[in-house]
Amino acid sequence: MRQRHLGSDGLVTSALGMGCMGLSQGYGPADDDESIRAVRRAAELGVTMFDTAMSYGQGHNERLVGRALAGLPWQVQVATKFGIVRGPGGVHVDGRPEHVRGYCEASLARLGVEVIDLYYLHRVDPQVPVADTIGAMAQLVAEGKVRHLGVSEVTPAQLARAAAVHPISAVQFEWSLLWREPEDDIVPAARRLGVGIVPYSPLGRGMLTASLTRDDIDRSDFRRGDPRFQGGDLDTNLARVAALRRVAGGLGITPAQLALAWLLAQGPDVVPVPGTRRLDRIEQNVAAAGGQLSEAGLRALDDAVPRAAWVGDRRSFAAVSTSRRAGPA
């Protein structure tokens, strides 16, 4: 698979990564053996970046990814995150500098590795200056526990403050044909600062695969709470998916491949991390990374499903409040 550079401090990864959250939470029951096969198949096909977090499944996901990647003959990279804490009392955000080392060491143990390739602050703690949290993360780099730093769901101002403390290799946020608001602020901010872009949910939480059923929505904790998957907004978006399917058919690819190809065409600093448990979907995703969407294909897509065509505001669902509670990843 083609390689891409994230940031300015030497992180090189496959053009497409793999998001692993759904192997532990959010999208209905999962089978560990099936999940391990999916991760290993992705690595076999050239995916090198595997994205997890300490909060996914309350540690289950890191342990699962560690098991899946252990002993593989291919060089791979693990990205994990801290800052969203799930427990019996609910979910909260914690970016206190004195806790960063403990979170990192716990992730290293669960993953079964000596170094984390890319370590993200999952959410900015509203009660802690982001520079203070990044300072504690930078110390982990100095000690050799972490290679590169990232941040997730930040504002342009927060990204600038983070980058002033230590080079930030990647910023992660939701970006897809279904949700394009990042193009107004955080995408240009990242490029001004030389920070790589890692879109999560690049297939619109499954909407852009053109294969979702209402049962799929009902089984998913995340989709059930997302306005884009409810009522009239869902009906409107499904009509747009039909248009997406027609464009993809004309190009001889699947709607999911078209959605990924569009995102990859947004710049060489973009590394999407789609997630799936199915081997056939992994193979299709990897194939999308191997091609290139023509200017004519981009124009046809924009004519059929322009940005304004999609409806529903994910911000009300994913916001982090000042009470330190966190929305979904």
Beta partners for residue 150, in sequence order: 120, 170
Exposure string for 276-285, b = 16+ CB within 10 A, e = fewer: bbeeebbebb
What are the distances in angstroms from CA 80 to CA 105, 237, 258, 265? 12, 32, 27, 25
Structure tokens at 298: 């981009």
Cα Rg of the chain, angstroms? 19
Catalytic residue among 27, 56, 103, 120: 56
- Residue 257's contacts (CB-CB under 8 Å, 6 or more residues apart) are 248, 284, 285, 287, 288, 291
Q: Is 300 left (phi over 0), alpha (psi -120 to 50) or beta?
A: alpha
Which residues have a Cβ under 8 Å from the Cβ of 131 and sit 6 or more positions away? 161, 162, 164, 165
> Which residue, among 11, 242, 204, has the nearest Cα to 120 in the 3D structure?
11
The structure tokens 């884009």 sit at: 228
Q: Within a 10 A sphere around the Cβ of 127, how many other Cβ atoms?
A: 12
Structure tokens at 234: 């869902």
Residue with the two structure tokens 């959605």: 259
Could you confirm whether 56 is annotated as catalytic? yes
- List own/partner pairs for 233-236 with CB under 8 A and 24 or more apart: 233/311, 233/312, 234/312, 236/310, 236/311
Please give the positions annotated as active site.
56
